[in-house]
Amino acid sequence: MSNKSRRRPCGRGRSTSPVCGGNGHPPKYFIKQIEATEAEEARRGRLTPQEKIAEDRAQLQRQLLQDPAVTLLLQRCQQTPYSRLPCNASECLVDQGGRNYQAATFRHRILVDTAYGDSYHVPCLEAMIDLPQLAPSRFMLDTRPCRWNHNSPWNWGLMFQQWFKHSGRVDLAKIATYFKEVDAYLEERDEWSTRHIEWQVTHRKCKTNCGASECGPEPSSPPQCPEIEDYTTEGGSDGKVCPLSDVLKHTDSWRRQVMPWI
C-alpha cells in the first residue's frame, strides 16, 4: 500500500507550532504554573499549624457560602486493619494523635464534596468550622446503602440522630441514663416473661381458678418500658452545644431507642 492511501490516525494531530504546546498554551505558561505552585508550597511551609488551619477554615467557609448546594455528610466506613481513612486537612489531628483517638474516630469521616471526594476526620473538621451550626440542613447523616453493610444503610444510634436533629444541643448524660433504665427494664421483662410462661404451663395442668391450687396467682402486669424524657440542653437554641467528637467517643453512641414491648 502506498503512503498516499494510508489514513491518518483519528484524534487531534500533534502541534507543529514552535511556541504552543498541544493544548494551545506556550511553554512559558506551564513554567509559570510550576513556579506559582512551588511558591505557594513554600509559603504554606512557613506557616504555623494554627495559621494553616485558619487558612483552610476561611477557604472552606467561602466554598460553603458561594455554593449553597454543598452539603456535608457524616459517613461510617468499613473498618480495616491495614489503612486509615484519608483526610484532606493540612494539619491532620488524628495523624498527630495516633493511638490517642478511639476506634470510632477512625471509622467515621465527613464528606464535604461528593463530586471531588474531599473528606475529613471529625476532630479535624471540628477545628475548622462550626459543625452544629450546619446541622441538620447542610450537615446530615449519610443514609445511603453501603456495600460493606450488605448494601443497606447504616442504622445510626439515638445519640447521633438527636445530635443532628437538635444541632448538637443534646445532653449525652441524660441519654445514657435512659439506656441504663432500658437495661434494667429488659432484665425485669425477661424475668417476668419466664415467670408468666411457667405459670401458664402450671395453670393449664391444674384447670382451676387462679390461686386455688399449686399454680398460684397470675403474675402481675409486665414492666413498663421507660420513655426518654427531655435530653436537650437548657436554653433551647442558646443551650450548650455538644461536640460531635464527644458522641463518637461515647460508649452508648451505637444504641437505638427501644420500642415498648407489646
* Mean pLDDT of the region 64-77: 91
* Percentage, residues of the chain above pLDDT 90: 30
What does DSSP say about strands 145-146 and 72-76: parallel, antiparallel, or unpaired?
unpaired
Q: What is the pLDDT of residue 239?
A: 73
Mean per-residue pLDDT, 29-39: 85
- The pTM score is 0.73
Provide CB contacts within 8 A for 125, sequence distance 6+: 72, 89, 110, 112, 131
Q: Is the pLDDT of residue 163 over 90?
A: yes
**How far, in whole angstroms, is CA 223 from its chain's centroid?**
35
Per residue in 108-160, pLDDT (tens digit) is: 999 987 666 789 999 999 989 999 999 999 999 999 988 888 888 999 999 99
Rounded Cα distance, 121 and 108, in Å? 7
Cell of 120: 475529613
Asked if residue 262 has pLDDT above 90, the reply is: no
The H or E element spanning position 247 is helix 244-249
